[in-house]
Amino acid sequence: MASSQEQKLFRKTYFFRPGYVLPVIMEKNNIETVVKNFEVRDEDVFLVTYPKAGTNWTAEIIDAIQNIDNIDILKERSLMEKVPLLELGPSTHPDLVEDGITQVPSFAKVILETMPKGSPRRIATHLRPDIAPVQLFEKKPKTIVVDRNPKDCLTSLYNWHLTVGFLDPLTWEEMFDAYMKGLTIFGDYCEFIKSWAEYKNEPWMFWIRYEDIKKDHKGSVKRIADFMGKSLTDSQLDEVVRVTDFQYMKKASETIKGRELVLRPGGTWQRKGVSGGWKNTFSVAQSEIFDKDYNEKMNGYEDLKYDF
């Protein structure tokens, strides 16, 4: 029988399969049918991230690069247009309805039905390869993978539980314990990274760390643009950097259409965006437990390991 702590965590989540938990705002049948059979196009740009690894930030960078000739359109983007998370929706679960979340469609269906062919699509996902679209690995569109210090990911995910209505708030101790048991949404961080590492050296894959974007924003934007095959002038590069500055995006997010559907009162899509914030959250004992577990799981993947 699940403990009271697990019951609290899982009220708005479910086991997609043993050991792999998803929030109920993502429907199992939709993932197994619409998402799995999603029609991938050659011009698509996929963004693959573990939750809270810089998804929103990188999606906005890609969006700005794609629309550099019409940069003002970014201000008009709805939530779905800014970060089209492939597996999101539809919102039919009673745990969501009672919180007033009733208007989130299947993002995969909306992407297919509303984005005309020939237009580059920006598509994000937190799914592992075995449940991602089959055509992703057949057509091999440009795919960007963003990695982040897992301690910062977990700290940010904890705050995310406090921010969005489709997840129950947890104490930090509950979140840490859930992670160590592999019960956080989208499963274990290490397993996610290792599963995508199989494709790391493929020419259609581009890996970058969140910390590298923080350290060299402009240089990282150029690298992403080059990978996308988009040549930017110096002024265009500066403009992308300007509109994807963290504080600029945080202010802009306050007026995102549709934000009220999932954010709790006072919540914001961008919180701090710092690196190393985990040090203010983890206890010494928790950090040691995490490090031991992390090093054991990432054994053999030294090129992807973080040095804490």
Evaluate whether 200 touches 115 at the Cβ level (below 8 Å). no
User: To 5 degrees, how large is the angle CA 249–CA 67–CA 75?
Assistant: 35
Which of 93, 126, 161, 217 is labelled catalytic? 126
Q: State the virtual CA torsion across 284, 171, 151, 279 in degrees, nearest 10.
A: -50
- Residue 213 DSSP class: H
Radius of gyration of the CA atoms of the chain, in A: 19
* Per-residue tokens: 266: 């006072």
| 161 assigned to active site | no
The set of residues, in sequence order, having a beta carbon less than 8 Å from that of 175 and lying 6+ positions away, is 154, 157, 158, 161, 184
Q: State the virtual CA torsion across 11, 15, 21, 24 in degrees, nearest 10.
A: -50
SS3 sequence, 150-195? HHHHHHHHHHHHHHECCCCCCCHHHHHHHHHCCCCECCCHHHHHHH
How far, rounded to the nearest angstrom, does the alpha carbon of residue 285 sit from its chain's CA centroid?
A: 28
The set of residues, in sequence order, having a beta carbon less than 8 Å from that of 21 and lying 6+ positions away, is 10, 13, 14, 15, 183, 184, 185, 186, 187
Evaluate whether 108 touches 38 at the Cβ level (below 8 Å). yes
| Alpha-carbon distance values, 137 to 192, 202, 217 (Å) | 17, 11, 29
Active site residues: 126
